Chains A and B, each alone.
Chain A
Amino acid sequence: MANITRSPWLLHYDGSSCNGCDIEVLACLTPVYDAERFGIINTGDPMQADIFLITGGVNEQNMPVVKQLYEQMPEPKVVVAVGVCACTGGVFKDCYNIIGGADVAIPVDIYVPGCAARPQAIIDGIVKAVALFQERAQKSEKEVDKVG
């Protein structure tokens, strides 16, 4: 199995958030944190993404969008929820429109807490996601071997 941990491409989707975490996600790509040194690219295209970075909670309106983005991503894929909003609903939890964190719509693998989550924490979350990404790729390969 090839080592595919060196090229995690992100899809960043902003749910029902205050935008704080989104700014932090973008901060990861600036020269100070430079996430590209790990091969991370922020693609806008779900079909080319490996890691789904979601910020903000889920409401009635963005629920189908989140699900569709997740389904459009090719296997193997990993979901990272960034910020307490995406983890549980956070400060907006009791709002009339919020259903909950990202995990009410799609299976979330890594939770990055914080309000807002710091760039260091986000990069750490991505690095954890990358390990899981490799594991999944190996697993699906084994399954293919079993079937074939």
Chain B
Amino acid sequence: MYETAHACDVLVIGGGPAGLAAASHAARCGRRVIIVDDNPRWGGQIWRRGSGEDESPQATSLFDEVRRAGVKFIGGAHVFNQLQDGSLLAEAADGVHRFSYEKLILATGARERFLPFPGWTLPNVMGAGGLQALVKSGLSIRRRRVVVAGSGPLLLAVAAHLRKRGAEVLLIAEQAPRARVLRFGLRLIEWPEKLLHLMRLQRYLFNVPYLTGCWPVMAHGRRKLERVTLKRGARLWEVACDYLACGFHLVPNAELAQLLGCETVDGAVWVDELQRTSRPEIYCAGEATGVGGVELALIEGQIAGCAAAGREDEARRLFAARQRARRFASALNAAFDLREELRELATEETIVCRCEDVRLGQLREFDSWRAAKLQTRCGMGPCQGRVCGAALEFLFGWRVTSIRPPLFPVQLRNLAYDPSSEAERVERG
């Protein structure tokens, strides 16, 4: 087994907007900084580079800053466990990497929330962001008929992207009621950059119906998706399509923080005004602290970077900007809050946990996530509740407790990383 040890002042987990901003700020304050990300390249969910086409000027200048600041980037490394306080383990293609740090900044982002409905496990029913990622990495979507459904502005971004790549986007179904979406749209004047972004997207969405108060109730097909039934008000109708790209807003990736013993509130990592978690040497920035969009991620990252580098004064100068971005975040989350009716989509027979084939009806007799898990195996598979957990939280109000290593499936040889043998190796080297 090949093992590599790294040491730095500030370690950043996640190379999305928050992590990049944090890293460049900490490095500019003279700290040795490393960013670790499980993807081969930095950029996170939004600026994930592959084709280069999505590179906004904002992204390009941040990438340059990070490079200039002398930040070291370790891609393709998945943090899966803590060795001890001050040291994390990651799995990469060449074995285990160990990272020791003085300060840690978690910028692990968010993931999509899936809600179970009859047929959601059919092939070609996908996460909206998931389909976007597949297309970015080469899946051809030309002339394919796509229904984009769920909630949140992500649907627009995904639809625009798919259309650019030649997809026939039939419609966008947004569950939030029209009044809420409109009110949110009007408020966008407060954040002109968001309005601009929306207008840019709309260029690509010309002629695509955006149906508010509309959601999928069932996906049909024999071997794979053929049709989807949509509901809007009293009306139910079927739409024939090749893909259903579905995402019901986002949920924070708080598992690493939880593993390290940081407090969470409502599923998001708790932070103080300096982006410090309940563990004093650990900071958190971006969507892991709550879903709020890219501007908030950037500004939180900057604050965390300064604070972790000991430059509280600089961090404080950014508080006003963060306040403004947070107002947007709460407007966003209020507008796209999930409606009650979505709780009724899954029937007793609908599979909730895909890893272990657990159906909704099996869960009813239990009163907590852990009790249900122990008795039904729900959430016991390779994803460890990362997918079904957010759905069950919405359906039953259960929270996934007891986060255990490894955070992601890892090879046993890497899980068997032996700290004592490595110490010997380092001494000899």
- Real complex partners, A and B? no
- Chain B positions within 8 Å of A, measured between CB atoms, are none
